[in-house]
């Protein structure tokens, strides 16, 4: 069902990545029964996606981390591994570059959820409004743990919720504060991985079975797992090869 979101060329579905190069190698594509994953730059992949072809977007986009969890420019990762520059080469992508594409691809009367820290809330919100989105809610992800800060220790991250066009009646439950447990130890595949149960909650509240969710910066693919477990289709894009391969293995294990 996810292939329906890919632009039809010559009467057939032709995935992006076919016939163009990512560096020295063609972009990798994994197509399972309920998910399609792309190893490539979202701005290039997006060009082969139909207008208004997905039912929800959830993403935790790359942005500069500040202070907490950092030591001499390195992100400390539980388990002893250390990531230079937060482990990402895409951390400085401008919101205004990719948000218009998300708006174009999302269907009308559908919802967009985007993660943010406190420092990026205002520029991210301004870019979302400039792209055409209408603000719905500011959700708080209570991690039930703190990280160091110059001022008060930080315990929360934020989820900005928007819609495209008019309101669509959905199945909202809970509250604007979502208590959750951040993946730790062997559960943690990615240094900034978000909890699958939290994403499952958003997916169930905002979509119907067999509808399609997009994550343009999927990381280790927790959103894909959340979708598959709840009977939704998933399209994910990841530029970093390491995370793409981890995502591919994750989705394969769920589709067995």
Give domain limits for the chain: 1-50, 94-214
Would you tell me how many other CB atoms lie within 10 Å of the CB of residue 151?
A: 6
pLDDT, tens digit (0-9, with 9 covering 90-100), for 131-151: 999 999 999 999 988 989 899
**In the predicted structure, residue 198 carries a pLDDT above the cut 60:** yes
Confidence band, pLDDT 50/70/90 cuts, at residue 243: very high
CA angle 34, 36, 40 (to 5 degrees): 165
- Whether 111 and 162 have beta carbons less than 8 Å apart is answered as yes
- Whether 207 and 228 have beta carbons less than 8 Å apart is answered as no
**In the predicted structure, residue 192 carries a pLDDT above the cut 50:** yes
User: How high does pLDDT run on average in the chain?
Assistant: 82
DSSP the chain: -GGGGBPEETTEE--TTTTSEETTEEPEEEE-SSEEEEES-HHHHGGGB-TT-EEEEEE-------STTEETTEEEETTTEEEEGGG-S-TT--HHHHHHHHHHHEEEEEEEEEEE-GGGHHHHHHHHHHHT-EEEEEEEEEEEEEE--SSSPEEEEEEEEEEESS-------S-SEEE-----GGG--STTPPPHHHHHHHHHHH--TT-EEEETT-TT-HHHHHHHHTT-EEEEEESSHHHHHHHHHHHHHHH-
State the pTM of this model: 0.82
Confidence band, pLDDT 50/70/90 cuts, at residue 62: confident
pLDDT of residue 130: 98
**In the predicted structure, residue 7 carries a pLDDT above the cut 60:** no
Kindly state which CATH superfamily the domain 94-214 is placed in.
Answer: Vaccinia Virus protein VP39 (3.40.50.150)
**Mean pLDDT to the nearest integer, 239-253:** 93
Instruction: Report how far Cα 217 is from the mean position of its chain's Cα atoms.
Output: 5
Confidence band, pLDDT 50/70/90 cuts, at residue 225: very high
Confidence band, pLDDT 50/70/90 cuts, at residue 21: very low
Q: Cα separation of 175 and 137, whole Å?
A: 10
């Amino acid at each position: 069902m996810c292939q329906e979101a890919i632009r039809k060329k010559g009467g057939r579905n032709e995935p992006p990545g076919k016939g163009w190069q990512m560096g020295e190698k063609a972009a990798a594509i994994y197509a399972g029964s309920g998910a399609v994953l792309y190893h490539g730059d979202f701005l290039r992949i997006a060009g082969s996606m139909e207008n208004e072809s997905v039912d929800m977007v959830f993403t935790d986009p790359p942005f500069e981390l500040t202070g907490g969890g950092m030591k001499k420019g390195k992100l400390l990762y539980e388990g002893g591994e250390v990531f230079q520059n937060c482990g990402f080469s895409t951390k400085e992508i401008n919101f205004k570059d990719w948000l218009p594409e998300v708006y174009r691809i999302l269907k009308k009367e559908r919802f967009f959820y985007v993660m943010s820290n406190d420092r990026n809330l205002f520029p991210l919100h301004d870019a979302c409004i400039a792209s055409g989105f209408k603000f719905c809610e500011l959700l708080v992800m209570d991690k039930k743990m703190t990280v160091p800060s110059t001022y008060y220790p930080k315990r929360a991250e934020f989820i900005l919720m928007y819609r495209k066009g008019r309101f669509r009646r959905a199945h909202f439950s809970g509250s604007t504060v979502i208590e959750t447990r951040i993946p730790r130890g062997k559960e943690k595949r990615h240094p900034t991985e978000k909890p699958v149960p939290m994403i499952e909650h958003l997916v169930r509240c905002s979509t119907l079975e067999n509808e399609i969710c997009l994550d343009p910066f999927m990381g280790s693919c927790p959103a894909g797992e959340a979708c598959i477990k709840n009977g939704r289709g998933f399209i994910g894009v990841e530029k970093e090869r390491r995370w793409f391969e981890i995502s591919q293995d994750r989705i394969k294990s769920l589709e067995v």
